[in-house]
Amino acid sequence: MVKRVRESSAVREVENNMKHEEFAERAAKRLLDMADRLEEEGRRLGVNGKVSARAKEMRVAAFMVRGEAEAITRAENEPSAEPR
């Protein structure tokens, strides 16, 4: 019985990690896609310089989303320091 609890707990942990990573990838992809569309529209309208900074911010946000998900996954996987 204990073994089953550990297995299901491990499976749950993997599922939670995948959710963090999957969310991060989806959010990052959307941010990058929006940045690309924004730059294309800026070029089309002749205001590329004004929108380029915003597109760069979106790319940085995508990077940060991925990094945050990785940090959460690492924190959840670290053994907790419990007093003995």
**34 assigned to some structural domain:** yes
SS3 state at 47? coil
Give the closest residue to 21 by CA, choosing from 60, 54, 62, 70: 70
**82 assigned to some structural domain:** no
Domain count, the chain: 1
Q: Is the pTM of this model over 0.85?
A: no
Average model confidence (pLDDT) across the chain = 81
Per-residue pLDDT of 34-66, as tens digits, reads: 999 999 999 898 888 878 899 999 999 999 999
Q: For the chain, how far is it from start to end, CA to CA, in angstroms? A: 24
Give the closest residue to 10 by CA, choosing from 66, 82, 76, 84: 76
Per-residue pLDDT of 5-14, as tens digits, reads: 455 666 566 6
Confidence label for 15 from pLDDT (cuts 50, 70 and 90): low
Q: Supply the range of the domain harboring residue 22.
A: 2-76
Would you state the structure tokens that stand for residue 56, as one six-digit string? 């760069």
**22 assigned to some structural domain:** yes
pLDDT of 30 > 50? The answer is yes
